[in-house]
Structure 1
Amino acid sequence: MSTLICSFDGLHDNRVLCYCADFEAHTLHMDTQTESGEKISVHFTGLLAHWFENVIQDNILFGMDEITVDGFFQQYKDLLDGTISYGFPACCSIEELRKRMEREHIRVFVIDSSLGLCGFVLAQEVELQCP
């Protein structure tokens, strides 16, 4: 059974210019730029948590996919087993986290890299904007 819900193809090979999480507003904003110079902003709202690794100066995205909550718990089982007791991504057990994500309609967005930054964002909504 596939865990993929949808792919955000407009981010392939985009360079990450910056990202910023606002924990009070529960948002995460990421500015990217295509190879042709077009800027695309990614706005996550209803942010529960995010986890990025391999962040370097010149991050190039491979893409972003929305996956199922079940897929998230399968794919990130080892990470969650090691971090949940420290309050990440939320102060609760794995089962309580699953229930909270369902109750609050939290979606899972996985960011894959060609170079550098990769990880996931747990949020209620995402919007891509071309200024």
Structure 2
Amino acid sequence: MGVMGITISIHDGVIIGYSVSFLENKLILDIETVTDEIVTVTFENYLAHDFHHVMAGSILFDIHEADLNTFFVENREQFENFKLYAWPIWYGNTNELEQDLQKDNYKCYVISASLGLTGYVFAKALKIKRNDKFSGNNQSL
């Protein structure tokens, strides 16, 4: 993934932690890259997530933005079951949910792994940056 001409690769990075702030509407993944950098992936204007196989040592393969229509076609049965619990929001059917998410500019970010944590996040934006707070004395120039 690149931001403003800076390329930061999260492929094969190890997830060292994640957190959700409902007050700030964001989900944060902290990742140690193969080059021993610590980067933070922030899902801004976060709505909901569904993670599976959460474990220490999870190794990322990729995070990509899925086409909402394709995502809901592939996961229709799952969301028909989720509507009984009003997750991620109240909706009558999956078409209504998809339309509401599109209208409110939500995106679906799919997290795939070589090992461990997989799933998806509904949020309006994704940002990735190097994280100095974990660097300590291990900074290199």
Q: TM-score, normalised by structure 1?
A: 0.87
Tell me which residue corresponds to 1:51.
50
In structure 1, runs of 5+ residues without a counterpart are 1-7
Counterpart AA for 2:51: F
Q: What SS class does the counterpart of residue 36 from structure 1 fall into?
A: coil
Worse-superposed segment, 84-93 or 23-32 = 84-93
Q: Is 1:105 aligned to 2:108, yes or no?
A: no
Report matched runs for 1:1-131 at 5 Å. Answer: 10-93=9-92, 94-131=94-131
Larger Rg: 2
1:40-96 per-position Cα deviation (integer Å, ceiling 9, x unaligned): 110111111110001112111111111111121022223212212112121212232
| Aligned CA-pair RMSD | 1.6
Runs of 4+ in 1 over 2 A off after TM superposition: none
With normalisation by structure 2, the TM-score equals 0.82
Cα distance in structure 2, aligned partners of 1:13 and 1:78: 31
Unaligned stretches of 5+ residues in structure 2 = 1-6, 132-141
Give 1:9 shift.
Answer: 7.7
Is the Cα–Cα contact under 8 Å of residues 9 and 64 in structure 1 kept in the other structure?
no
Partner of 1:5: none
Q: Which shifted more, 76-85 or 31-40? A: 76-85
- Contact 1:9–1:63 at 8 Å: present in 2 too? no
Structure 1 pair 73/92, CA: closer, same or farther in 2 (3 Å)? same
